[in-house]
Structure 1
Amino acid sequence: MKRKHVAYAATAGAAAGVLGLTMLTLPAGAGAAPALPEVAPEQLVESVMRAQPPALTGTVEVDNALGLPAIPGAGQASEMLANGTSKFQVWADGQGRHRVSVPSHNGELTVVDDGSTVWKWDSAEQKVVRSPEHAPEAAEHAAPADPAATAREIIDKLRQTSDVKVDGTASVAGRDAYDLVLTPKPTERTLLREVRVAVDAEKRIPLEVSVLTNGSNDPALQVGFSSVDMSAPDPALFQFTPPAGAKVEDGKAEHSPQQRPAHPQGEHKVVGDGWDSVLVAQLPQQEKQNGQDPRQIAERVGKPISGPWGNGWIIGTAAGNALLTSDGRLAVGAVPEQVLTAALGEA
């Protein structure tokens, strides 16, 4: 998740990266509330932290009202983070192997993690990128293969600066769930009102995440399972053979722990913590990202802004802001504009 923030910064989807919530899971709708044993909020949170990722097959639906446009040519990240509803398929074996299939307007992106190698197959370009699992490229090409793990990270990050409660129960994708609510403490400077997480009553993994902003009763972003089957998928799904005629490219060799760059996508720093934390990063030196110049994109969809830190463009939504400077620095956060610019100046 940390590296994806910077990888997506070249598109309008960077503003959604503000949330740190873009690749979680949410169902299309909830059924009648089931009767479940009472559970204390901290007990529920701790059980989520301890839960082991199960084997599963699921359809994930993203319902986005962030106000971001789709940018032609900017890839699946922009398409999925643009206003509206989108879906993708996920498979996991519970042992660290994953498969994700994301449709696009002109093809399909398939990512397979077989436990040692990450394969990215783009049917539109007829190209396969093969990377060692822990190489920088693997994180760059990864899809949301383990949304439950991402949700756990978010819960763990926010719980120390939140009021936490269990607000009843729900039925999500046919499974009983507890409704966990995290509300920012009054000292937190954020545009978000609360984050609601539907936690599976049996497996204790997140099934639904809803992000609500101040001034609206409708979620700005919902992500989750519209259907899920927690039985083991066919092991063949986690094997990949490049299709005939496909162009195969190799990613860079994996670094050892001593050699691996601390920030493969460029240097970055987190200013603040909890709800009002801001990620400040230096974009990689290459001129273009996914065939697009980040500065040209920011100039097209953002508004000009300047300050003691320099000049740039800001992309704002009800849920947060992203600022790209003319010299390639990026600041994103679910915070008001003044908090964002202050963090940029501090970094």
Structure 2
Amino acid sequence: MKPRNVAITATAGAAAGVLGLTVLALPAGAGAAPELPPVSPEQLVESVMRAAPPALSGTVQVDNALGLPALPAAGQGGELLADGTSQVRVWADGQGRHRVSMPSHGGEVTVVDDGSTVWKWDSAERTATRVDAAHEPGAEHPQADPAAAARDIIATLRQTSDVAVDGTASVAGRDAYELVLTPKPSERTLLREVRVAVDAEKRIPLELSVHTNGSDAPALQVGFTDLQLAAPDPALFRFTPPAGATVEQAPRQHRPQAPQHPQGEHRVVGDGWDSVLVARLPEQTSAKDRTDFRQLAERTGRPVSGPWGNGWVIGTAAGNALLTSDGRVAVGAVPEQVLIAALGAA
């Protein structure tokens, strides 16, 4: 069997972060809003940044109305970026070990990180891929729990946003403050605001919703529908390939800014709301996936060209994606002109 994309969905995970989307789901719980002590926006943001990652287990639901199709060879994250509803199960021990299970076509994809080794198990393909995390300190692995991912988004957007606290909510049975980040007028983005429900006690993000201009309904709602703040069984963070499985060793992972690395190369151009992810299909991508990639672009996109080459733009109210004929992808919650400029810069 030919090697698969062994970046363990890092590219798709980064795309989610760039769009202001992340794996965090249903609207805040119905009923009366809980009464909580007042807190200033600055105090709430700082408490989120200081909060220690807790041990937890739970179910995350992603309700997606972005209008983007699943991208071939983008990994499981590509399916989560497609329209519809998905559920993800997450576990974390609070000490750097994580487990995430996601649905896939015909099975389930599970990522297990024991702190030194990351395993990706694809039950449909019966393939286990191993990444030694110690190979590259600081290398990206999208194994973090949803609360950590949403915290990263707050850290990324806070300097380019107007921040406010807009009441309270109940999420997965827990009281929460509603934190709202609105892009400053100088930001070139198609998004109107990002709302994060922050746990009143633990100060961890419980829910995230992304709103676009011209629509009252969120383009994306992601959050916990079930959450237990207790240490999971330690056995969940150990993985042994099942009998008969194909076992693959991932090549050395390099930091995203290393442009010479040919496998799963990606980088972020810009910062804050203007961020654009630029990625390239890895060399191991099968001929079928490359064909599917091009057919998707031709079927759903509008042809464009420039000094960077030629490709197709897929536009939605929440952002744009540019797929090029040579296998590059640029995606962001920005106008088309910003996307094309980022592709040329990358």
For the criterion TM > 0.5, the same-fold answer is yes
Matched letter for residue 166 of structure 2: D
After superposition, the C-alpha distances for 1:61-102 in whole angstroms (9 at most, x for unaligned) are: 000001123468865333322211110110110001111111
Instruction: Compute the TM-score of the two structures, normalised by the length of structure 2.
Output: 0.86
Give me the whole-angstrom Cα distance separating, in 1, the residues matched to 2:286 and 2:17: 16
Give me the whole-angstrom Cα distance separating, in 1, the residues matched to 2:104 and 2:265: 31
State the SS of the aligned residue for 1:312: strand
1:262 equivalent to 2:261? Answer no
Give me the whole-angstrom Cα distance separating, in 1, the residues matched to 2:313 and 2:17: 14
Give me the whole-angstrom Cα distance separating, in 2, the residues matched to 1:177 and 1:329: 40
Matched letter for residue 276 of structure 1: D
**How far apart are residue 124 of structure 1 and its match?**
0.8
State the SS of the aligned residue for 2:289: coil
**How far apart are residue 193 of structure 1 and its match?**
0.2
After superposition, the C-alpha distances for 1:179-213 in whole angstroms (9 at most, x for unaligned) are: 00000111211100000000111111110000000
Matched letter for residue 222 of structure 1: Q
Which 5+ residue runs of structure 1 have no aligned equivalent? none
1:274 equivalent to 2:292? Answer no
State the SS of the aligned residue for 2:52: coil
The correspondence of residues 1-347 of structure 1 with structure 2, limited to 5 A, is 7-8=11-12, 18-23=18-23, 25-27=24-26, 29-31=28-30, 32-70=32-70, 75-135=75-135, 144-252=143-251, 262=258, 264=261, 265=263, 270-281=268-279, 283=280, 286=283, 288=285, 292-293=289-290, 294-347=293-346
State the SS of the aligned residue for 1:249: strand
Give me the whole-angstrom Cα distance separating, in 2, the residues matched to 1:284 and 1:5: 12
After superposition, the C-alpha distances for 1:113-168 in whole angstroms (9 at most, x for unaligned) are: 111111111111111112212457x978x555422222122111111111100001
Distance 1:123 1:308, change over 3 A: closer
Are the counterparts in 2 of residues 18 and 321 from structure 1 also a CA contact under 8 Å? Answer: no
Matched letter for residue 200 of structure 1: D
Distance 1:225 1:27, change over 3 A: farther
Give me the whole-angstrom Cα distance separating, in 1, the residues matched to 2:266 and 2:234: 38
Give me the whole-angstrom Cα distance separating, in 1, the residues matched to 2:287 and 2:199: 37
Are the counterparts in 2 of residues 74 and 291 from structure 1 also a CA contact under 8 Å? Answer: no
**How far apart are residue 30 of structure 1 and its match?**
1.5
Are the counterparts in 2 of residues 75 and 290 from structure 1 also a CA contact under 8 Å? Answer: no
State the SS of the aligned residue for 1:47: helix
**How far apart are residue 17 of structure 1 and its match?**
6.4
**How far apart are residue 28 of structure 1 and its match?**
5.5
Give me the whole-angstrom Cα distance separating, in 2, the residues matched to 1:173 and 1:290: 43
Task: Give aligned pairs, total.
Answer: 334
Distance 1:92 1:73, change over 3 A: same
Are the counterparts in 2 of residues 26 and 222 from structure 1 also a CA contact under 8 Å? Answer: yes
**How far apart are residue 59 of structure 1 and its match?**
0.1
Distance 1:40 1:333, change over 3 A: same
Distance 1:237 1:37, change over 3 A: same
State the SS of the aligned residue for 1:8: helix
Are the counterparts in 1 of residues 157 and 181 from structure 2 also a CA contact under 8 Å? Answer: yes
Are the counterparts in 1 of residues 59 and 226 from structure 2 also a CA contact under 8 Å? Answer: yes
Give me the whole-angstrom Cα distance separating, in 2, the residues matched to 1:175 and 1:134: 36
Are the counterparts in 1 of residues 112 and 143 from structure 2 also a CA contact under 8 Å? Answer: no
Which 5+ residue runs of structure 2 have no aligned equivalent? 1-6
Give me the whole-angstrom Cα distance separating, in 2, the residues matched to 1:21 and 1:318: 14
Distance 1:55 1:5, change over 3 A: closer
Give me the whole-angstrom Cα distance separating, in 2, the residues matched to 1:289 and 1:173: 41
Give me the whole-angstrom Cα distance separating, in 1, the residues matched to 2:216 and 2:249: 47
State the SS of the aligned residue for 1:292: helix
